[in-house]
């Protein structure tokens, strides 16, 4: 039985996990100084993933390449992030989350510099890879830091407000990337999409060094022992599998069958290896025995597939059918990100899971059906209204899925589990770009958008059915309090 299965539901029949004493400990242990750098770094990945959208056309002109050729800047970050997210979590568990967190910030800083001065597409691609790897360390390392902090102060329930803030920073902020990018590119040129990382990471670096407690000293171990504990072979197999999978997805609608064969082959080898590994990178036995966690991964991936399809598909349609500029299209979607952040706050404060997930899936069904009714004559105000339905889905499901992940994943594997959750999210986002690429391959039309809406409706019905049938979400329970020994493992607050 998972830790989500056995507590009494609260008055509204949902998943409240928490107590007054837990709230007071949360306020004391997670000050604004402690969480600010965690939120800043966690926001870098989603913002960078969508920020580049408005810079692709100017980059193509500056580099004398086709707009299609700049797609490598998008896929490079996707690929780097999908591999680096669980890897960063694993390194955080084994080497210390603060060390990994700071290393990631430094890589993003370097990526911003390289991209800001780059003169060729190859240089810009390297910059995006550095940014992808660096930003990927933020979320899983932050989850490890938060989990250890909670154990260290004896919290027996998830720190809901902190997780909610992390969810807003780590997922909801993706909606503000296009409008921010539009303003930056219009005012300062396409290089600002890279250079903006420099001041942000410099501030995050200083705040982390000042306000996040240092990790415990590392034990001296032979290099072979470190490699075994990290499971380098598992990481390499996973990286190869994900690379081949993304090549296949990005090749659609003209499938690269060789990459699919490589994906399946490496997947089989990875499973066999991880079943034999003493400290597996991907705990296959955990995924097959803890089906609640596996369903959380799938639920999150499908939900974000729908969200990203709207984010990118509707944006393209607004520009083609309504004649909006990229900046105007981004501003149309801005209220979606704002409302999603507002919706997520009360849900995270009460640690709700089942109710928000059902509501989010239901609004996803309604919003998807509404997309199928859009035409080029539809008023922009009505389009904004439908995007606000998607905002309810985003705000309700991201924080609830994250809370579910927090209590479903073993404490000593929370970093890898959080990173893998993000990897599933990236698979969903890449699948969404594949869908829009196929549907709008010839032209961006109302008919194509209606097909997108039909696909979204099918996905949303699957999400709603999965959620309603998942009995492990019916009544979350408070995890058992940690004993003194476990609290000591969290380590004291030692700062610079």
Q: Give the CATH number of the domain where residue 143 resides.
A: 1.20.1250.20
Q: Above 50 in pLDDT, residue 289?
A: yes
Most confident of 158-167, 260-269, 403-412: 260-269
- Pick the range with the lowest mean pLDDT from 34-38, 188-192, 260-264, 279-283: 279-283
Residues 171 and 263 in one domain: no
Residue 485 falls inside a structural domain: no
Residues 268 and 322 in one domain: no
Residues 251 and 190 in one domain: no
Helices (H), 153-196: 160-170, 177-188, 192-195
pLDDT the model gives residue 9:
40
Residue 472 falls inside a structural domain: yes
At 494, the pLDDT band (50, 70, 90 cuts) reads very low
Cα 173 from Cα 181, distance rounded (Å):
13
Counting Cα atoms < 13 Å in the Cβ hemisphere of 311 gives 34
pLDDT the model gives residue 25:
54
Tokens 């989010």 identify what position? 360
Residues 33 and 132 in one domain: yes
Domain range spanning residue 85?
20-214+227-231+277-478
Q: How far is CA 2 from CA 89, 335, 481, in A?
A: 22, 36, 15
190: phi then psi, degrees, rounded to nearest 5: -65, -25
Residues 251 and 188 in one domain: no
Cα-based angle 448, 245, 125 (whole degrees, multiple of 5): 85
Residue 67 falls inside a structural domain: yes
Residues 398 and 349 in one domain: yes
Residues 319 and 396 in one domain: yes
Residues 262 and 284 in one domain: no
pLDDT the model gives residue 269:
97
Residue 135 falls inside a structural domain: yes
Average pLDDT of 16-31?
58
pLDDT the model gives residue 251:
81
Among the candidates 276, 294, 312, a domain finishes at 276
Q: Above 80 in pLDDT, residue 303?
A: yes
Residues 302 and 192 in one domain: yes
Cα 387 from Cα 23, distance rounded (Å):
33
Average pLDDT of 66-81?
82
At 240, the pLDDT band (50, 70, 90 cuts) reads very high
Query: Mean pLDDT for the chain?
Result: 84
Residues 452 and 474 in one domain: yes
The total of structural domains in the chain comes to 2
pTM over 0.85: no
Q: Above 80 in pLDDT, residue 466?
A: yes
Tokens 């409302």 identify what position? 339
Average pLDDT of 43-68?
84
Residue 1 falls inside a structural domain: no
Residue 483 falls inside a structural domain: no
Closest CA to 143 of 163, 160, 157: 163
Residues 283 and 272 in one domain: no
Residues 200 and 334 in one domain: yes
- Pick the range with the lowest mean pLDDT from 20-34, 248-262, 327-341: 20-34
Residue 389 falls inside a structural domain: yes
């Amino acid at each position: 039985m998972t830790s989500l299965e056995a507590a009494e539901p609260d008055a509204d029949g949902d998943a409240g996990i928490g107590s007054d004493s837990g709230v007071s400990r949360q306020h004391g242990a997670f000050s604004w100084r402690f969480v600010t750098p965690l939120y800043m770094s966690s926001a870098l990945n989603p913002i960078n993933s969508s920020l580049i959208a408005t810079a692709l056309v100017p980059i193509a002109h500056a580099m004398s390449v086709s707009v299609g050729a700049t797609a490598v800047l998008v896929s490079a970050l996707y690929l780097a992030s999908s591999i680096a997210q669980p890897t960063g979590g694993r390194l955080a568990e084994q080497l210390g989350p603060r060390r990994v967190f700071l290393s990631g910030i430094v890589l993003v800083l370097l990526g911003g510099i390289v991209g800001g001065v780059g003169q060729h597409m190859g240089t810009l691609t390297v910059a995006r890879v550095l940014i992808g790897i660096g930003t990927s360390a933020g979320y899983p390392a932050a989850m490890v830091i938060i989990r250890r902090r909670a154990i260290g102060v004896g919290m027996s329930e998830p720190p809901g407000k902190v997780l909610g803030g992390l969810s807003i920073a780590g997922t909801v902020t993706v909606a503000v990337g296009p409008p921010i990018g539009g303003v930056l590119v219009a005012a300062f040129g396409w290089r600002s999409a890279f250079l903006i990382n420099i001041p942000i990471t410099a501030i995050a670096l200083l705040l982390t060094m000042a306000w996040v407690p240092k990790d415990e000293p590392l034990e001296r171990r032979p290099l072979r022992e470190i490699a075994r504990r990290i499971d380098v072979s598992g990481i390499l197999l996973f990286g190869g599998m994900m690379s081949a999978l993304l090549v296949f997805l990005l090749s659609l609608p003209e499938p690269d069958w060789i990459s699919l064969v490589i994906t399946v082959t490496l997947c089989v080898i990875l499973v066999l290896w991880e079943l034999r590994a003493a400290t597996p990178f991907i705990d296959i036995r955990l995924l097959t025995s803890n089906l609640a966690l596996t369903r959380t991964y799938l639920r999150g991936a499908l939900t974000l597939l729908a969200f990203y399809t709207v984010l990118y598909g509707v944006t393209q349609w607004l520009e083609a059918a309504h004649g909006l500029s990229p900046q105007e299209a981004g501003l149309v979607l801005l209220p979606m990100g704002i409302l999603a952040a507002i919706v997520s706050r009360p849900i995270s404060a009460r640690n709700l899971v089942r109710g928000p997930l059902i509501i989010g899936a239901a609004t996803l069904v309604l919003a998807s059906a509404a997309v199928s009714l859009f035409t080029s004559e539809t008023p922009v105000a009505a389009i904004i209204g439908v995007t606000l339905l998607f905002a309810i889905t985003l705000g309700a499901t991201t924080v609830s899925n994250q809370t579910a992940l927090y209590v479903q994943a073993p404490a000593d594997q929370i970093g890898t589990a959080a990173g893998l959750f993000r990897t599933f999210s990236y698979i969903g986002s890449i699948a969404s770009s594949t869908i829009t690429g196929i549907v709008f391959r010839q032209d961006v039309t109302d008919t194509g958008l209606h097909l997108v809406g039909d696909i979204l409706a099918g996905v949303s019905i699957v999400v709603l059915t999965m959620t309603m049938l998942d009995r492990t979400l019916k009544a979350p329970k408070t995890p058992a309090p940690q004993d003194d020994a476990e609290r000591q493992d969290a380590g004291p607050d030692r700062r610079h």
